[in-house]
């Protein structure tokens, strides 16, 4: 096998493994202790995958589909908790997403309406709870509180909307059901529906 074929096979296998990770493995929440800061970090095993709504059109034209990923986080230091949403977007070959850190650039669509997400500065820890999926993508942390997490977990429709470079919007829907994953994460963090 030539030297060029091995990286290609590894890339194909990596995509297959990522596709397999987006399903049931994301249900179980994880918890790690950052020994440097003494902070406990709660997250999902794998972030929730979202696919751009024009997926079928992109496949038909041979264009690369855009993906986005979302993962809730709880940072707990000595019993004081704070929360955030990690979001990563990996644009395909269609419309390009603008700077996700700009005010009003990312919106979360729930059953009860839209929530414009506010970027936050995440606590400085050794390693982030989620890894960027694509090197050309953008990652950021956004404001989250227990009430918002409960609304997300209760929502039958959950979608992400990004402002594009041309000021239009790029919409993403989850590739799998999200309610179970978010509900289990909230229960693991002792955030209940009451």
> Where along the chain do its domains lie?
5-188
Q: How far apart are CA 28 and CA 71, in angstroms?
A: 12
Q: Phi and psi for 137 in degrees, rounded to 5?
A: -80, 180
Two structure tokens written together for 88: 């990563």
Cβ atoms of residues 86 and 129 within 8 Å: yes
Q: How far apart are CA 130 and CA 70, in angstroms?
A: 9
Surface-to-core class of residue 127, CB atoms within 10 Å of its CB (0-12 exposed, 13-18 middle, 19+ buried): exposed
Task: Provide the pLDDT for residue 127.
Answer: 81
Reference 66, options 164, 180, 178, 166; nearest CA is 164
Please give the distance of CA 23 from its chain centroid, rounded to a whole number.
13
Those residues of the chain that have pLDDT short of 50 are 1-26, 55-60
Please give the distance of CA 167 from its chain centroid, rounded to a whole number.
22
Task: Provide the pLDDT for residue 93.
Answer: 65
Two structure tokens written together for 142: 């956004």
Q: How far apart are CA 96 and CA 111, in angstroms?
A: 27
Place of tokens 């960027």: 132
Helix axes 179-188, 146-154, angle to 10 degrees: 150
Two structure tokens written together for 13: 């296998």
Selected from 2.40.30, 2.30.29, 2.60.40, 3.30.70, the CATH number assigned to the domain covering 5-188 reads 2.60.40
């Amino acid at each position: 096998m030539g030297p060029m074929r091995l990286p290609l096979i590894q890339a194909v296998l990596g995509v297959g493994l990522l596709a397999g990770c987006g399903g049931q493995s994301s249900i179980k929440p994880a918890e790690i202790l950052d020994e440097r800061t003494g902070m406990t970090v709660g997250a999902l095993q794998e972030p929730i995958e979202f696919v751009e709504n024009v997926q079928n059109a992109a496949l038909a034209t041979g264009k690369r589909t855009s993906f986005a990923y979302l993962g809730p986080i709880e940072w707990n230091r000595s019993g004081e908790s704070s929360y955030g949403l990690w979001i990563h977007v990996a644009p395909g070959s269609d419309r390009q997403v603008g700077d996700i850190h700009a005010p009003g650039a990312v919106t979360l669509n729930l059953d009860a309406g839209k929530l414009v997400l506010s970027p936050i500065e995440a606590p400085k820890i050794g390693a982030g709870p989620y890894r960027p999926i694509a090197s050309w993508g953008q990652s950021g942390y956004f404001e989250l509180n227990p009430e918002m997490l409960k609304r997300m977990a209760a929502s039958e429709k959950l979608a992400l909307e990004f402002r594009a470079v041309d000021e239009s919007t790029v919409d993403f829907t989850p590739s799998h059901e999200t309610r179970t994953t978010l509900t289990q994460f909230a229960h693991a963090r002792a955030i209940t529906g009451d």
